[in-house]
Amino acid sequence: MALFYALLFALVFLIRYSAGQLKIGFYSETCPEAESIVSSVVQDAVVSDPNLAAVLLRLHFHDCFVEGCDGSILIENGPNAEKHAFGHQGVGGFEVIEKAKARSEDACPGVVSCADIVALAARDAIALSNGPSYQVPTGRRDGEVSNVTLADDMPDVSDSIQQLKTKFLHNGLSEKDLVLLSGMLSLSLSLFLMHLL
């Protein structure tokens, strides 16, 4: 039950943090198969490697914590790319997003944003981990800036509690958000380690 509440809270955080001109079914006319394409790719990936569910959720968290949920963590611009920031060490799942993006481009060229694919992949990863199923408002625009320095304020395991509070507050999150998200990320890591044993 604690896992359910942690995942549900993560969902609320991620949707709230990426709010804007988003709506359920944003692609219903321009690319009706967008969500099913992402779901199919994520399901294949998680069946192949169950650890990818936690990896995809973590990828979404890291993307949203820096400049909002804009897919900027995916932008490759050499060694200065955001994905190479110290705070993003160990973040993975990029190949799953790239595969979903390639399939969506085949079906609907230039329509589905990478930022939405990351959000949808996290949703599907949660559902595949026996978490809640939920709808994701879509319509995010992809970021155009990716710079390693933008991720300087990522929470780090060596941060003091005061540093963590400040980083979360800077992103509009409360101390309660800090506790719940930290617990959720710790639980994800524990589940990942259990799969390795």
CATH number of the domain at 26, please.
Answer: 1.10.520.10
Bind-site residues: 63, 66, 68, 70, 72, 82, 155
Backbone angles phi, psi at 75, to 5 degrees: -70, 130
Catalytic annotation present for 62: yes
- For residue 16, give the amino acid letter: R
pLDDT of residue 121: 96
Structural domain range at position 122: 2-196
Q: How far apart are CA 114 and CA 104, in angstroms?
A: 10
pLDDT of residue 68: 86
Find the catalytic residue in 60, 62, 88, 195.
Answer: 62
pLDDT of residue 106: 97
Q: How far apart are CA 80 and CA 78, in angstroms?
A: 5
Q: How many domains does the chain have?
A: 1
Pick out the chain residues at pLDDT < 50: 1-9, 12-13, 15-19, 187-197
On whether the pTM is more than 0.85, the answer is no
Within 10 Å of residue 120's Cβ, how many Cβ atoms?
Answer: 27
Q: How far apart are CA 10 and CA 23, in angstroms?
A: 19
pLDDT of residue 157: 72
Bind-site residues for substrate: 155
* DSSP-derived secondary structure for the chain: -HHHHHHHHHHHHHHHHT-SS-BTTTTTTT-TTHHHHHHHHHHHHHHH-TTHHHHHHHHHHHHHHTTSSSSGGG--BTBTSGGGSGGGTT---HHHHHHHHHHHHHHSTTTS-HHHHHHHHHHHHHHHTT-------B-PPPP----GGGGTTS--TT--HHHHHHHHHHTT--HHHHHHHHHHHHHHHHHHHHHH-
pLDDT digits (tens, 9 = 90+) for 46-102: 999 999 998 998 899 889 888 889 999 999 988 888 888 888 888 899 999 999 999
